[in-house]
């Protein structure tokens, strides 16, 4: 049953109003990309969508954005320092002053990314499988995005697109799914996709939205490449794929946009392990965990058996407000309580440095020394079950990243082996 929706943000109307000649400049990546994110609209999972969009934009450190859950910020003053407006507001009609403020943003060289939008009137179909075909020639918004299939309820464009609009993605029946237009100094991207919160977990949809943010800002997105390790270190992640790693347990890992992603969408737990074992080393990495999430870093872990017992696990959780315990972030799981809980808020990047030298473990987490211990210290194993004893832990094993059925990302994974 098709539902009518006559209150969509008039993305194509704005395109038609603003169409004029000119070129777009490309600002330097030395400057932060300033974005304003607005997520609102009844009948949609706006909490989940705002969380997913925030997670996506925080992946790139130089994107600075503010999130608003209504359209009050759409004013001349509210948009004066904004390069790109990212707008998810299906069914919300902007006031005349708000429309003018958005038009002024584009006229002065800014951009707008419209999500789950269509020119009125429009129809919305039930949620189902949608094949997204990328239209050649490839546009910057679909760079490194192949055709893909998602589960969503896209709006159906019932009117024709105005002159000057370029369709960049469509369904097999030719129905437009995403389109762009450059108007003088400004740029606009719009897509009918984004109704379901599940679509925001798809890496190719994420890539298209990120590409659109950069394109609308007149910039080029950073290209995934092997991170440059510090002097004396080597990279365990090439920035492109999972070469050098192996999945243990449920398959829910992939490399995307310069990070290793664990979707957490699995019925069982598991982990991603290095292809070789290590004994003495300094390990550096960054991670970020989703709200309420749980993960961990495995050290000297065996291939089989419980990695946190037969090797060691440094706990990762979204628990920055919790007091230190033997299960809080940075704890040697279920055994050693850290000096403090160093966790940053969900979605923020955390920095970890682990030094393992024979039986000595030193851990610095977000600049805080949380462990400096001798694994054979009898006091650390006092009153522990036999399965938890630290002095029984091996001297070598795999490095691993835990899938505890939570969304988590890792990047900048470097190691320096010690004698």
Place of tokens 């737990």: 269
pTM of the model: 0.83
Q: Containing H/E element for 412?
A: strand 408-417
| pLDDT at site 6 | 36
In sign, the C-alpha dihedral spanning 403, 405, 408, 409 is positive
Q: Does domain 234-417 sit in CATH 2.60.120.560?
A: yes
| pLDDT at site 402 | 97
| pLDDT at site 4 | 39
| pLDDT at site 25 | 35
| pLDDT at site 83 | 97
Q: Containing H/E element for 12?
A: helix 11-18
| pLDDT at site 52 | 93
Q: Assess whether the previous peptide bond of 121 is cis (omega < 30° from 0).
A: yes
| pLDDT at site 267 | 86
In sign, the C-alpha dihedral spanning 6, 9, 11, 17 is positive
- Rounded to whole angstroms, the Cα distance separating 286 from 350 reads 5
- Rounded to whole angstroms, the Cα distance separating 375 from 355 reads 13
Q: Are 288 and 320 in contact (CB under 8 A)?
A: no
What's the fold here for domain 3-216? Rossmann fold (3.40.50)
The SS3 of residue 317 is strand
- Rounded to whole angstroms, the Cα distance separating 369 from 363 reads 6
- Name the packing angle between helices 96-107 and 11-18 (round to 10°): 50
Q: Residue ranges of the chain with pLDDT lower than 50? A: 1-10, 12-13, 15-29, 120-122
Close Cβ partners of 28 (under 8 Å, ≥ 6 residues apart) = none
**Digit-coded pLDDT (tens) for 147-200:** 999 999 888 876 677 778 999 999 999 999 999 999 889 999 999 999 988 899
Q: Are 365 and 338 in contact (CB under 8 A)?
A: yes
| pLDDT at site 124 | 58
Greatest C-alpha distance within the chain: 77
Domain boundaries, the chain: 3-216, 234-417
Give the residue among 390, 416, 408 at the shortest CA–CA distance from 313: 390
| pLDDT at site 223 | 80
| pLDDT at site 241 | 93
| pLDDT at site 11 | 52
Q: Tell me the pairing of strands 111-115 and 84-88.
A: parallel
Close Cβ partners of 83 (under 8 Å, ≥ 6 residues apart) = 27, 33, 34, 35, 110, 111, 216, 217
| pLDDT at site 23 | 29
Q: Are 363 and 354 in contact (CB under 8 A)?
A: yes
């Amino acid at each position: 049953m098709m539902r009518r929706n006559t209150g969509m943000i008039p993305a194509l109307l704005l395109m038609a109003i603003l169409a004029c000649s000119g070129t777009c400049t490309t600002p330097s990546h030395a400057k932060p990309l300033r974005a304003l994110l607005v997520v609102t609209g009844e009948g949609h999972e706006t909490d989940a969508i705002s969380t997913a969009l925030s997670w996506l934009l925080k992946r790139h450190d130089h994107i600075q954005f503010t999130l608003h859950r209504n359209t009050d910020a759409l004013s001349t003053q509210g948009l004066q320092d904004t390069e790109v407006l990212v707008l998810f507001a299906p069914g919300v009609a902007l006031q005349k002053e708000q429309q003018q403020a958005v038009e002024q943003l584009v006229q002065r060289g800014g951009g707008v990314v419209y999500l789950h939008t269509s020119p009125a009137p429009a129809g919305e179909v039930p949620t189902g499988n949608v094949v997204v075909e990328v239209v050649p020639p490839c546009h910057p918004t679909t760079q490194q995005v192949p055709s893909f299939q998602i589960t969503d309820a896209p709006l159906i464009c019932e009117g024709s697109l105005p002159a000057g609009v370029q369709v960049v993605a469509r369904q097999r029946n030719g129905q437009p799914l995403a389109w762009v237009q450059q108007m003088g100094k400004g740029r606009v991207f719009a897509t009918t996709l984004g109704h379901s919160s599940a679509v925001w977990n798809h890496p190719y949809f994420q890539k298209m939205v990120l590409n659109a943010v950069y394109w609308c800002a007149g910039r080029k997105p950073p290209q995934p490449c092997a991170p440059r390790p510090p002097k004396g270190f080597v990279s365990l992640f090439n920035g492109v794929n999972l070469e050098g790693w192996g999945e243990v347990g449920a398959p829910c890992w992939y490399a995307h946009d310069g990070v290793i992603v664990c979707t957490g969408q699995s019925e069982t737990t598991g982990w991603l392990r290095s292809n070789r074992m290590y004994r003495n080393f300094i390990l550096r990495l960054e991670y970020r965990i989703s709200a309420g999430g749980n993960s961990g870093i495995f050290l000297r872990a065996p291939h089989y058996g419980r990695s946190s017992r037969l090797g060691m696990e440094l706990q990762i959780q979204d628990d920055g407000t919790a007091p230190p315990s033997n299960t809080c972030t940075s704890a040697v799981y279920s055994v050693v309580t850290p000096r403090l809980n160093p966790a940053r808020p969900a979605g923020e990047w955390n920095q970890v440095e682990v030094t393992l030298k024979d039986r000595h473990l030193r851990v610095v987490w977000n600049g805080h020394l949380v462990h400096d211990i001798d694994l054979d210290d009898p006091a650390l194993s006092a009153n522990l079950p036999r399965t938890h004893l630290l002095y029984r832990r091996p001297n070598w094993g795999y490095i691993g990243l835990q899938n505890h059925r939570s969304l988590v990302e890792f990047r900048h994974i470097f190691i320096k082996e010690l004698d």
